[in-house]
């Protein structure tokens, strides 16, 4: 039994040594290599920033275009509304002018008829009584 335990212990001990020896050491990097890599990273970041600036400028130009289009649409809508209101006012004015003329003509005719009836009522007592009953004399 002791032999079996001893064999098992050697096997595990051997596995432990092999796994410890399996680890590779990283190669050492000099300060110069670190500085060169950092310089390349900084250049890459500057290139990314330049690209981002270009994209933001193109987005700004596109927003300006969209704003101009929106202003054009709003101006067109305002023009259409103004023309519609102008047409409505012109239409009402042209539609009411004949009605006003006719109303003035009817009022003038009514006044003449009333004067004629009053003059004739002075000669005819029956007509005078009718007009008095209607409150016209």
Give 39-67 pLDDT, tens digit per residue: 999 999 999 999 999 999 999 999 999 99
Rounded to whole angstroms, how far apart are CA atoms 45 and 51? 10
Collect the ranges in the chain with pLDDT lower than 70. 2, 6-7, 9-27
What is the distance between the alpha carbons of residues 9 and 41, in angstroms, rounded to a whole number? 51
How many CB atoms are closer than 10 A to CB 11? 10
């Amino acid at each position: 039994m002791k032999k079996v335990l001893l064999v098992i212990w050697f096997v595990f001990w051997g596995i432990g040594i092999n796994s410890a020896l399996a680890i590779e050491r990283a190669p050492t990097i000099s300060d110069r290599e670190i500085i060169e890599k950092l310089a390349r990273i900084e250049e890459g970041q500057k290139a990314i920033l330049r690209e981002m600036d270009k994209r933001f400028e193109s987005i700004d130009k596109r927003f300006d275009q969209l704003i101009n289009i929106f202003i054009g649409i709003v101006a067109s809508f305002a023009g259409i509304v103004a023309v519609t209101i102008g047409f409505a006012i012109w239409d009402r004015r042209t539609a009411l002018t004949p009605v006003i003329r006719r109303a003035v003509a009817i009022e003038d005719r009514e006044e003449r008829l009333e004067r004629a009836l009053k003059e004739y009522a002075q000669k005819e007592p029956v007509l005078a009584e009718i007009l008095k009953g209607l409150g016209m004399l």
